[in-house]
Structure formats: C-alpha cells, structure tokens
C-alpha cells in the first residue's frame, strides 16, 4: 500500500506493506542507511530515530503507525544539541567500530533536548537501551557532559 511519511523535513510516499518496520523503509526505500540494524527486537538501540523529537526504536515500529509524526534520522539531525553532541563525539574520539554510534547520538541528542544539564544517573537512564559492543560507554558519558557544557556556554 502507499504510505506517506515525513522524514527529515521532506514528505515521501512509499509503496510497502503496512506492517513493514520503519527501519527498513528508511534504509531500503529512502536509502537513509545511517540508521542501523542490530537486533530487530528493540534491545540494542542501533536503529534509534526521533519521532516528533523522541528517541524511538525503528526496528519494531510498523510504518503505518508513524502517521503524521515527523521522523528524524541521523542524516537530518539539526539543532544546537545535535551540533554540540557531534562536536563532543569528535573531540573525544567516542566511536570505535562505529556501528552503534548513530543510535547513540540520536539518544544523546534526545536526552539533551529534554534535559540540557543531565547528571550521570540521567545519562545512564537515557542511554541504557543503547548497546555498544566496543564498550565506549565511558567516552559516551563524558562526551554528553562535554556537549551539555557547550550548550550551557
Ligand atoms: S535494531 Fe532496533 S533495537 Fe536493535
Ligand atoms: S563503537 Fe563499536 S559497537 Fe559501539
């Protein structure tokens, strides 16, 4: 069936089964391959996108349930918090293999947009669902603190 989606500020029509996970529409139909597949069962966070600004697992979200909510992927992330996170990630060399990192960045930006000055508990709570097999957790937490400092300044 034909489904209309708003992704990164643009409207797209895609012809897919209504229960296709949003992840596969983004990757296979729209060629937005920055959003990754990790587990497919909402357990790793690699597929995180924003739905009306809230971090959401796209691997378990049927595309028909997106409705008129705005989808933002790593390719379309634009905000002061996004800029601060991307800068901090680069300055602190956060990624190792990089596979999980677009999901990590989406969750970190979602956190800072709701809580601009998070403490360690808030960071750990917001990032708990994002798994990193390279164990970059300490750098992620430090980079979020750095990004928060940049936003405060
Ligand atoms: S691929 Fe969606 S949470 Fe793992
Ligand atoms: S950087 Fe390799 S899985 Fe996170």
- The tens digit of pLDDT for each residue in 72-87 reads 999 999 999 999 999 9
Q: Ligand 2 pocket test: which of 100, 105, 129, 138 has the largest number of ligand atoms within 8 Å of its C-beta?
A: 100
**Shortest-distance atom of ligand 1 to CA 129:** 3
CA dihedral for 122, 124, 129, 130, sign (positive or negative): positive
- Dihedral sign for Cα 83, 71, 123, 60, please: negative
- CATH topology agreement for domains 2-76 and 80-152: no
53 within ligand 1 shell (Cβ under 6 A): no
103 lines ligand 1 (CB under 6 A): no
pLDDT confidence of residue 1: 85
Ligand 2 pocket test: which of 94, 101, 140 has the largest number of ligand atoms within 8 Å of its C-beta? 101
CATH T-level topology, domain 80-152: DNA polymerase; domain 1 (1.10.150)
Closest residue by Cα to residue 30 from 47, 17, 44, 11: 11
Local confidence band at 39 (pLDDT 50, 70, 90 cut-offs) = very high
Q: Residue 7: pLDDT above 90? A: yes
Quick check: CB of 148 below 6 Å from ligand 1? no
Residue 150 Cα, ligand 2 centroid: separation in angstroms? 24
CATH of domain 2-76: 3.10.20.30
pLDDT in the model for residue 4: 97
pLDDT tens digits for range 84-126: 999 999 999 999 999 999 999 999 999 999 999 999 999 999 9
Per-residue pLDDT, averaged over 49-70, amounts to 97
If you ran DSSP here, which 8-state letter would residue 145 be given?
H
Q: Where are the chain's structural domains?
A: 2-76, 80-152
Strand arrangement, sheet containing 2-7: 10-15, 2-7, 70-72, 48-51, 54-57
Mean pLDDT of the chain: 97
Nearest C-alpha neighbor of 77 from the set 43, 99, 101, 42: 101
Q: Which of 100, 111, 82, 91 is nearest to 136 (CA)?
A: 100
Residue 40 Cα: closest atom of ligand 1: 1
């Amino acid at each position: 069936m034909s489904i209309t989606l708003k992704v990164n500020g643009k409207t797209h029509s895609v012809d897919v089964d209504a229960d296709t996970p949003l992840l596969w529409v983004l990757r296979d139909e729209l060629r937005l391959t920055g959003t990754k597949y990790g587990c497919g069962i909402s357990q790793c966070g690699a597929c995180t996108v924003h739905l009306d600004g809230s971090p959401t697992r796209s691997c378990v979200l049927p595309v028909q349930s997106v409705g008129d909510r705005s989808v933002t992927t790593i390719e379309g992330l634009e905000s002061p918090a996004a800029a601060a996170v991307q800068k901090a990630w680069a300055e602190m060399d956060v990624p190792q293999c990089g596979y999980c990192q677009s999901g990590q960045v989406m969750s970190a930006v979602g956190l800072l947009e709701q809580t601009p000055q998070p403490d360690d508990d808030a960071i750990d709570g917001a990032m708990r669902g994002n798994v990193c097999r390279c164990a970059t957790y300490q750098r992620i937490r430090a980079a979020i603190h750095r990004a928060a400092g940049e936003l405060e300044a």
